[in-house]
Amino acid sequence: MQTHVSTTPFGRRPMTLGQISNQMTAKAVKPDAVAHKWQVFQDIREARELLGATDRSLAILNALLTFHPETTLTGDGELIVWPSNEQLAARANGMPATTLRRHIAVLVDCGLVIRRDSPNGKRFARKGRGGEIEQAYGFDLSPLVARAQELHDLAGAVHAERRAFRVAKERLTLLRRDIVKLIDTGIEESVPGNWGKVLLDYQAIIIRLPRSAPRQLVEAISAELAVLCTDIREALESFTKTQNPDANESHSGRHIQNSNSELQTESEYGIREKKEAGGTAAETDNVRSLPKRELPLGIVLDACPGVLELAQGGEIRHWRDFLAAAELVRPMLGISPSAWREAREALGEQHAAITLAAIYQRADQISSPGGYLRSLTERAKDGKFSTWPMIMALLRAKLDVQKTQVGADGGKTDESRPSDDLRASEALLKSLTKPRGR
């Protein structure tokens, strides 16, 4: 008794050595071998690039698996399916016949299925009197059982490569972020050095990174950036160690505070700020010649947490929330509308708000916030004021307090204190917390 299911012959191509090898592997499958067909299919999907399979060929393999009635494939079971071209195309989302034949050939070349052709090239099954299949011609799925472990290992290798690639890209992103922040710190703090050349060196490394780079190139670029980052950090640390502690405090502390309890006039603030401006004309030109980066909102909030008390709901998510809180800070500090308007015109709305938040953070140490703001505004008009040093000074002061508290507690930290979601990078903070002049 013979049952024909397909009457459409396939065009025959010469058999390759690879296909002969696949047939030998299929014949060597152990009778007790077992494989879950959908797990094997998932492994094939993950490793399809290594196998050379295509999305269309996997769609056909998925359709072929649906013609096998059992979920579990065994080495001693019947593993040949014989769907017609029409049935196979229908389950492969209506794939045209020419495309179907081409991608079946891909599955064969990948060693995932084997053609078991009848003498006339047709696909059918011959059944006995009891209905059992005596002989079947079509597609043999036994390679999926024979290669199940191999396919699983290939999928695992692909997963490992993806994880390594993800780690490499994360490291690259962190290095890029830290280098830019360290360069900004060197510029804003007037650290001696050719920062223009450092920036060009950084860009020369980054420009070699294409939009879609292999993991090996990402790791190579990261290695070069790591060397550059170390050099920049060592330069900043070396500079901080050579500074006089008293002079350093004058530079970072008096910049936003005044210990004199007597009320000083705006002109007095202006004179003092001009003295503190310091720096040479060459340094000023170097700063102006380089592109400026905006202060991240997270760093500003870390340095000026007091402004959160005035935010709606005690939370600031965006710059618009920060600007709204700054509008509440101005009347509380007694700053006149005219002084605030001049500050926004000279600094820009965002930097004026950052300046106001910094003044509010040290309000108990500044006797005349309005006069101080006017002095900073005048310096900004001359290109001698930036919010970066002000925020960095606040961060240093905060870190010094935290280090003192940790030392007083015997190295214990306050675990009940909620951690901040937005913080300055560890590399940046580390470069700022090194003791100076020691």
pTM: predicted TM-score of the whole model, two decimal places: 0.47
In this predicted model, what pLDDT tens digit does every residue of 147-188 receive, in sequence order? 899 999 999 999 999 999 999 999 999 998 898 888 888 887
Of 67-81, 101-115, 234-248, the least confident:
234-248
Confidence tier at 17 by pLDDT (50, 70, 90)? low
CA–CA dist 344, 171 (Å, integer): 38
How far is it, in rounded angstroms, from Cα 237 to Cα 436? 8
- Best CA proximity match to 109, nearest among 63, 166, 51: 51
- Whether residue 27 is predicted with pLDDT greater than 50 in this model: the reply is yes
Instruction: Note the pLDDT of residue 398.
Output: 79
**For 69-97, what is each residue's pLDDT tens digit?**
888 888 777 888 888 888 888 888 888 88
| Structure confidence at residue 268 (pLDDT) | 34
Query: Angle, to 10 degrees, between the axis of helix 281-289 and the axis of helix 195-206?
Result: 20
Strands 80-81 and 114-116: unpaired
Could you report the per-residue pLDDT of 258-316, keeping only the tens digit for each?
333 332 333 333 333 333 333 444 444 433 433 455 778 888 888 898 888 877 777 88
Alpha carbon of residue 155 to chain centroid: 24
Across-strand partners of 137?
124
For residues 382 and 391, give the distance between their C-alpha atoms in angstroms, rounded to a whole number: 20
